[in-house]
A and B are shown apart, each in its own frame.
Chain A
Amino acid sequence: MRIRSRRVANRAVLVLAATLVVTACGAGGGTGGTGADDAADLDVSVEDFLTARGEELGVDRISVLAQSSPQADAIQQISGQFTELTGITVDWTILDEQSTENRAAVALGSGDGGFDVLQTPSGFIPTYVDRGWLQPIGPLVDDASSIVPGWNLEAFGEGTTSLLSRDDEVYGVPMFIGTQMFYYRTDVFEEHGIEQVPTTYEELVEVVHEVHGDDVAGIALRTAPSPSQLLFVWSAWLYANGGSYYAEYDDGTYSGSALDSPEAVESLTTYTDLVQNYAPSGATNWSVDDVTRAFATGRVAIVQEGAVFGGTFNNPDSSQVSGDIDAFTLPAGPAGSFVPYNAHGWTIAANSDATDAAWLFTQWATLAQTLTAATQTDANFGAPPLADVYSSPEYEAKYGFNDFVPAVIGTIDIANGGGVSPFEDDPNYLPATTDWATVGQQIAEELSKAVTGQVSVEEALRAASTYLE
Chain B
Amino acid sequence: MTSIPRAEGRLRGWHLGFTFPLIAVLLATTVLPLAYALALALGGSDASLVPQAPFGTGNVEAVLDRGDLWPALWLAVVFLVGALAFELGLGVFTALVLDRFVPNRNTLRVVLLWPAVLPPIAVALVFKYILQGDIGMLSYYLGLVGIHQEWLTQPSSAMAVIIGIDVWQYTPFVILLTLAALKSVPEEVLEAAQLDGAGWIRSAWSLVIPIIRPAVIAIALLRFIDAIQVFPTIYVLTRGGPGSSTQLLTYYNFQVFFGQLQFGQGAAIAIFVVLFTLACVTVFTRIQRRAEKAWA
Contact = CB atoms under 8 A, between A and B. Distances in A.
Interface in A422-469: 437-438, 441-442, 445-446, 448-449, 451-454
A405 B198 CA distance: 82
Contact of B211 (A2, A110, A446): A2
Interface stretch (B4-12, B42-50, B82-90, B276-284): B42-50
A454 B261 contact: no
Contact of B239 (A10, A284, A287, A454): A287
A44 interface: no
B228 interface: no
Contact of A13 (B121, B181, B211, B242): B181
B36 to A, nearest CB: 11
B28 interface: no
A20 B117 contact: yes
A109 B258 CA distance: 11
**For the complex, would chain B's binding face be called helix, strand, loop or mixed by DSSP majority?**
loop
Interface stretch (B16-24, B98-106, B182-190): B182-190
Interface string A15-33: 0110011011010000000
A224 B177 contact: no
Interface stretch (B53-61, B73-81, B133-141): B133-141
A109 B49 contact: yes
B207 to A, nearest CB: 12
A155 interface: no
A316 interface: no
Nearest to A15: B180
- A-side interface size class: 35 or more
Contacts of A397: none
Contacts of B215: 6, 9-10, 13
Given A13-B219, A284-B153, A437-B261, A8 B184 contact: yes
B241 A285 contact: yes
B218 interface: yes
A391 interface: no
A12 B216 CA distance: 12
Interface stretch (A51-59, A99-107, A356-364): A99-107
A282 interface: yes
A106 B261 CA distance: 10
A144 B180 CA distance: 75
Nearest to A449: B243
Contacts of B153: 282-285, 452
Contacts of A212: none
Interface in B150-194: 150-155, 158, 173, 176-177, 180-186
A13 B263 CA distance: 37
A387 interface: no
Count chain A CB atoms within 10 A of each CB in B120, B212, B259, B262 and give the residue with the most: B259
B49 A1 contact: no
B65 interface: no
Given A9-B212, A224-B239, A24 B48 contact: no
Given A101-B258, A441-B259, A24 B120 contact: yes
A5 interface: yes
Interface in A73-132: 98, 101-102, 105-106, 109-111, 127, 130-131
Contacts of B292: 6
Contacts of B227: none
Nearest to A280: B133
Nearest to B109: A16
B119 A16 contact: no
B48 A1 contact: no
B91 interface: no
A226 B241 CA distance: 9
A299 interface: yes
Contacts of A26: 119, 121
Nearest to B214: A6
Interface in B200-245: 211-212, 214-215, 218-219, 222, 226, 238-245
A11 to B, nearest CB: 9
B290 interface: no
A169 to B, nearest CB: 19
Count chain A CB atoms within 10 A of each CB in B154, B181, B186, B243 and give the residue with the most: B243
Contacts of B68: 442
Contacts of A8: 183-184
B133 A281 contact: yes
A409 interface: no
B132 interface: yes
A225 B183 contact: no
A452 B134 contact: no
Contact of B242 (A10, A98, A454): A454
Contact of A281 (B134, B155, B158): B134
B32 to A, nearest CB: 15
Nearest to B149: A281
B255 interface: yes
A5 B177 contact: no
B242 A284 contact: yes
B296 interface: yes
Contacts of A20: 113, 116-117, 173
Nearest to B155: A454
A219 to B, nearest CB: 14
Count chain A CB atoms within 10 A of each CB in B68, B134, B262 and give the residue with the most: B134
Contact of B186 (A2, A16, A284, A453): A2
A422 B193 CA distance: 80
Given A8-B184, A111-B48, A284-B150, A445 B120 contact: no
A281 B150 contact: yes
B286 interface: no
Contact of B218 (A13, A127, A282): A13
Nearest to A18: B222
A332 to B, nearest CB: 30
B260 interface: yes
Contacts of B47: 109, 130-131
B295 interface: yes
A194 interface: no
A299 B135 contact: yes
B171 to A, nearest CB: 13
A441 B183 contact: no
Nearest to A227: B259
A8 B243 CA distance: 47
Interface of B: 47-50, 68, 113, 116-117, 119-121, 132-136, 139, 148, 150-155, 158, 173, 176-177, 180-186, 211-212, 214-215, 218-219, 222, 226, 238-245, 247, 255, 258-263, 292, 295-296
29 contacts: A5-B184, A9-B181, A13-B222, A16-B180, A20-B117, A20-B173, A21-B226, A26-B121, A101-B258, A105-B258, A109-B47, A109-B261, A225-B242, A281-B134, A281-B148, A282-B133, A282-B134, A282-B139, A282-B150, A283-B153, A284-B153, A285-B158, A299-B135, A438-B262, A441-B255, A445-B243, A449-B243, A452-B153, A452-B154
